[in-house]
Chains A and B, each alone.
Chain A
């Protein structure tokens, strides 16, 4: 089983729709969680960190479910500019490095 798994998509959604992605992780000792965004042929950039209590940043909401070992990203009122690949990132306790998921591709359609 992969350390971090994501549905590769693509998720094709109309503008204004709400879309959610999940990411599962296998190491129960995982401690830090992040969502990164990567535009086509560009570098990944941090979208948001994921805290135990969940967090929200505008149209984006991230949640953590430790019992089921997954994190989620919810995007409300999708914009064309949200089209990108969303990478799930996980770090385990005591580890100096993180593990990236392979990403979920989102295409927002006019």
Chain B
């Protein structure tokens, strides 16, 4: 099993460009999450999903959109990138709420 995978691993964007980050898990988990991690801020939840076809806002959802059309995939979109979105983005999944979260290796995004 690959666990949780993320693509791309690293990306540089110019302000105003758009992109989609892909998260895939092969553990048949119901819950999936997108976090961003910034120095001194810890992991902050952007959006999450409790099952296929459902999404919900987390702590810092502005500027991001998500979709979960298939149970194994959770996409994070940036419609118009801003320098404030420079961060490391982690995807995670868990079987149910409150259970162990399994993280992907992260995507490093630099917005110029």
Contacts and interface: CB of A to CB of B under 8 A. Distances in A.
Contact of B42 (A43, A91, A103): A103
Contacts of B67: none
A45 B33 CA distance: 15
Which bracket fits the contact residues of A? 20 to 34
B98 A45 contact: no
Nearest to B3: A43
Contacts of B31: 96
A97 B48 contact: yes
A34 interface: yes
Contacts of B45: 97
Contact of B90 (A8, A44, A96): A44
B98 A44 contact: no
A97 B43 contact: no
A66 B25 CA distance: 35
Interface of A: 8, 31-32, 34, 42-46, 49, 87, 91, 95-98, 100-103
Contacts of B44: 100
Interface string B69-87: 0000000000000000000
Contact of A42 (B43, B48, B97, B105): B105
B42 A31 contact: no
Which bracket fits the contact residues of B? 20 to 34
B29 to A, nearest CB: 13
Nearest to B91: A43
Contacts of B56: 96
Given A34-B100, A97-B48, A44 B43 contact: yes
B42 A101 contact: yes
A87 B43 contact: yes
Contacts of B42: 87, 100-103
Given A97-B33, A102-B41, A44 B50 contact: no
B61 interface: no
A96 B97 contact: yes
Contact of A49 (B40, B100, B104): B100
Nearest to A2: B42
